[in-house]
Chain A
Amino acid sequence: GAGVSQTPSNKVTEKGKYVELRCDPISGHTALYWYRQSLGQGPEFLIYFQGTGAADDSGLPNDRFFAVRPEGSVSTLKIQRTERGDSAVYLCASSLEASGGLNEQFFGPGTRLTVL
Chain B
Amino acid sequence: AQSVTQPDIHITVSEGASLELRCNYSYGATPYLFWYVQSPGQGLQLLLKYFSGDTLVQGIKGFEAEFKRSQSSFNLRKPSVHWSDAAEYFCAVEDQAGTALIFGKGTTLSVSS
Contact = CB atoms under 8 A, between A and B. Distances in A.
B113 interface: no
A45 B51 contact: no
B99 interface: yes
Interface size of A as a range: 20 to 34
A37 to B, nearest CB: 8
Given A45-B102, A55-B99, A101 B43 contact: no
A27 interface: no
A109 interface: yes
A100 B98 contact: yes
Given A42-B90, A101-B94, A56 B99 contact: yes
Is the contact region of chain A dominated by helix, strand, or loop, or is it mixed?
A: loop
Contact of A101 (B4, B32, B44, B105): B32
B43 A110 contact: yes
B93 to A, nearest CB: 10
Contact of B44 (A45, A59, A91, A98): A91
Interface of B: 4, 32, 36, 41-46, 49, 51, 90, 92, 94-95, 97-106
